[in-house]
Structure 1
Amino acid sequence: MTLSRREGDPDLEECLAATSAQLPQLRSNWDAISAAIQAYANASISSIRLASKRVIHVETVSGLSFAVKFGNPSAPLAREVSTLRFLKGAKCPVPAVIPTNVTNGEPEWIATEWGGNRTLDAFLDQCPDSQADLAGLQLATAVGQ
Structure 2
Amino acid sequence: MTSEELTLAPDAAQALRESQALCYRMNCAIVAPEHLLAACLLRLHAAGAAGLPSPGAIQQALVATQGIGEDPLDRDVIFGSAARDAISAAAAAARAAGERTITARGLAIALAESGECSPMFFASLGISRSELAGLLRAI
Task: Give the TM-score of the pair, scaled to structure 2.
Answer: 0.31
Q: Which has the higher contact order (CA 8 A, sep 6+)?
A: 2
* Pair member with larger Rg: 1
More strand by share: 1
Structure with bigger helix share is 2
